[in-house]
Structure 1
Amino acid sequence: MKVDFDNHGGNIEKEARKLGLSTDNIIDASASLVPFKLPKKLNNYLINSIKNGSIRFYPDRSYFELKNAISEWHNIDPSMILPGNGASELFTWAARDASLNGISSLPSPGFGDYQRALKCWNAHYIYNTLPLSWTIRKPQPFPIEPKTNVLWITNPHNPTGQLWSRSSIKRLLDNYKLVICDEAFISLTPGGENQSVIDLTESFKNLVVIRSLTKFLGIAGLRIGYAVANSDRLLEWKEIRDPWPVNTLAINATNLIMKDSKMQKKRLNKIHNWIEEEGKWLNKSLSNFSTIKPLPSTTNFQLIKSDSSTLNLIENLKKRGILVRDCRSFINLGENWIRISLQKRKQNIQIINTLKDYIN
């Protein structure tokens, strides 16, 4: 199946042009982004980074300061950290190693970028079906154990929003040549860090963990993520990748937030409180409709099943300036599924009220 990134979500400028609307007049519930502005201190720091001329020079290829800042956050050796141009670039290098280790399992429905990354290396992969119903329990044990050489895990899972237990992932590590764990949403998720497997990379050389700072900081345009894995593996990646994949502004933003624990904690508390409050409110509001069913989620998006096709609904919402995620690009989902990302209460109310005009 071709991965269509036009259906990835977050194509707000393209949709605004098609609709003849300003981006300011669109609610983008198709991309799972935090709806808060940058902390003022960080915003000013980025502005000063431009004014002081730091972008005149090439970034430090060793990422010495950045790796040390991340290592202190996770209490792990800096040699086991490799910053990247968002998580997507790092998936590409993880897929290279996957291609060298045999067949990959992609639990499905799941994030389509893994498939894109594997195709870069002509790697073999299969889809393994995840159950499409679950309880509100969190965390949950990872529910399948595919018979392949490589396993890709997303925690919390995209698009279902399920948070997998650390213990269930740890049990899998002895059964695969390579396990790639995408923790892009884990810092956003209340209680998520307790289920992280980053510390297990010190004991398991076959484990790669990939994080995104795009989600946490709300800087999708800057592109910043990092991989945590055995240092020898990351050294191989570094030797064959582009020379300067991470730009100076992204480095500076990460350095500041990683070193300022007060700012970091304040940001995380704000995000976690928002997800707790708005997640419960949106789920309850969606549950009042008779023809759709929101599934339990631990993070900042909710997967919804409809009794009938949602294609007309998606188009009608677009015309009203609301973008939701068309789930047809997810393997094992179809036109009866949509995903809605949490917004602030005002926008969430607008989404619910608009839905009332089209569904029961």
Structure 2
Amino acid sequence: MLQGHGDDGYKYKQEIKANFSTNIWYGGYSEELKQHLINNWSTIDSYPEASAESFIAVLAKDLNVETDMLLAVNGATEAFYLIAQCFNSSSSTVVIPTFSEYEDACKINNHKLHFINWKDLSSSSCFDTDLVWICNPNNPTGEILLQKDLDHLLQNHPNSVFILDEAYIDFTDTISSSIDLIKKHQNLIIVKSLTKNFSIPGLRLGYLIANKALVQKIEFYKAPWTVNSLAIEAGKYLIQHKAEVLPPVKHYKSSTEKFAKNLDEISGIKIHPTKTSYFLIELEKGNSTELKNYLISEFGILIRDAKNFRGLNSSYIRVATLNEEKNQLLIDALQKWSKLNTL
């Protein structure tokens, strides 16, 4: 994690009353999952399955794919580093601004890096690198790439492997997963996270899906036992009960639209459009670090300072929609900050 991460609340001694810095589904905590893990606590007495086989079996059935098209990982980030290691010393294009771990993983594994801005990404974009990294929906902008456009890109670039990060696919109803393209194209790897949509970031669980040859190639670099016993049990439970715990997208989207509209009425900030529950705010005065420190010290509110996203600067912050009460805390705090900056 060379460039840092957004959710750094652990660094602060004061109480965090509202954490807008993380894109985790705020209503996803499950008492039923907690009880399930308590009931399976004895699994920590032994080594976990080397490759999370029982979780993969449940997942394969749910997705209607073969088990050897899947690889369980310790959060999506492990997948990015495994892929970069598998293609050591290759060339990579990263569509920015985006999650910094793609670039970090590539740097560690001696990739020659190229960058393209999201606003320039389309079905007619040209790539001449070995790998292309795309977050869809994108973090931090909330922008999306339509499946038909991805289909064109895969068709037009058979010599490039596309890594599609779908960690936030359950936070939008504008697009759905592109998993069905896996069987059509041999140059697509999709990485999925269970930590954001199911609100279990502390358990670290995700998976990648690709054709069997690519999965086997990547799996060669994977250490055993990276997915622990409780994460395996959580994964099986969540996949089997996903309808009960996934974010209610229509409600979430409506809440985000209302939240963004109220924020947009505050002088000195610009709200960027989004297809997800999180979005960028551009500051017309002041800078992101000063604002972050002000919100923490005065209100116990944590936001994402977005200046370390390549392609952005200290004029940007990212926030995620929380419940109405917490959203109002940020609205009130930013109104006070705005008045201070107009004096």
Correspondence for 2:50 among 61, 64, 72:
61
Tell me which residue corresponds to 1:165.
Answer: 146
Tell me which residue corresponds to 1:135.
Answer: none
- Aligned residue runs from structure 1 range 67-78, under 5 A: 67-78=56-67
CA offset at residue 141 of structure 1?
Answer: 5.3
CA offset at residue 4 of structure 1?
Answer: 2.1
Q: Distance in 2 between matches of 1:220 and 1:41?
A: 17
Q: Deviations over 1:234-264 (max 9, x none)?
A: 223323321111001111011012123xxx1
SS in 1 for 2:172: coil
- Contact 1:99–1:124 (Cα < 8 Å) also in 2: no
Q: Distance in 2 between matches of 1:308 and 1:3?
A: 28
Question: Which one is further off, 71-80 or 218-227?
Answer: 71-80
Q: Deviations over 1:102-153 (max 9, x none)?
A: 3211111111000111122111111212339xxxxxxx95684444332111
Q: Deviations over 1:163-184 (max 9, x none)?
A: 2101101111131421100000
Q: Distance in 1 between matches of 2:203 and 2:311?
A: 32
Tell me which residue corresponds to 2:11.
Answer: 14
The amino acid that maps onto 1:335 is S
SS in 2 for 1:331: coil
SS in 2 for 1:187: helix
- Tell whether 2:160 aligns with 1:177: yes
TM-score (normalizing by structure 1):
0.88
The amino acid that maps onto 1:129 is N
Question: Which one is further off, 312-321 or 326-335?
Answer: 312-321
Tell me which residue corresponds to 2:172.
Answer: 189
SS in 1 for 2:59: helix
- Tell whether 2:271 aligns with 1:294: yes
Tell me which residue corresponds to 2:262.
Answer: 285
Q: Distance in 1 between matches of 2:117 and 2:238?
A: 38
- Tell whether 2:292 aligns with 1:303: no
- Aligned residue runs from structure 1 range 45-60, under 5 A: 45-50=36-41, 53-60=42-49
Percent sequence identity over matched residues? 28
Gaps of 5+ in 1: 133-139
The amino acid that maps onto 1:211 is K
- Contact 2:171–2:249 (Cα < 8 Å) also in 1: yes
Rate the CA distance shift 1:333–1:90 in 2: closer, same or farther, 3 A: same
Rate the CA distance shift 1:274–1:13 in 2: closer, same or farther, 3 A: farther
Tell me which residue corresponds to 2:2.
Answer: 3
- Aligned residue runs from structure 1 range 1-360, under 5 A: 3-5=2-4, 8-15=5-12, 17=13, 21-22=14-15, 25-50=16-41, 53-99=42-88, 102-131=90-119, 144-174=125-155, 175=157, 176-193=159-176, 196-260=177-241, 264-268=242-246, 270-310=247-287, 311-319=289-297, 320-359=299-338
Q: Distance in 2 between matches of 1:187 and 1:68?
A: 22
Q: Deviations over 1:239-297 (max 9, x none)?
A: 3321111001111011012123xxx11323x4314421221111101110232111111
CA offset at residue 84 of structure 1?
Answer: 0.1
RMSD over aligned CA atoms reads 2.0
SS in 2 for 1:240: coil
Gaps of 5+ in 2: none
Q: Distance in 2 between matches of 1:131 and 1:257?
A: 35
Q: Distance in 2 between matches of 1:287 and 1:335?
A: 19
- Contact 1:28–1:324 (Cα < 8 Å) also in 2: yes
- Contact 2:292–2:303 (Cα < 8 Å) also in 1: yes
Q: Distance in 2 between matches of 1:202 and 1:119?
A: 30
- Contact 1:84–1:225 (Cα < 8 Å) also in 2: yes
The amino acid that maps onto 1:225 is G
- Contact 1:302–1:341 (Cα < 8 Å) also in 2: yes
The amino acid that maps onto 1:30 is S
The amino acid that maps onto 1:331 is R
TM-score (normalizing by structure 2):
0.92
- Contact 1:188–1:215 (Cα < 8 Å) also in 2: no
- Contact 2:266–2:338 (Cα < 8 Å) also in 1: yes
> How many positions carry a matched residue from both structures?
335
Tell me which residue corresponds to 1:137.
Answer: none
Q: Distance in 2 between matches of 1:343 and 1:12?
A: 16
Rate the CA distance shift 1:60–1:274 in 2: closer, same or farther, 3 A: same
CA offset at residue 299 of structure 1?
Answer: 1.4
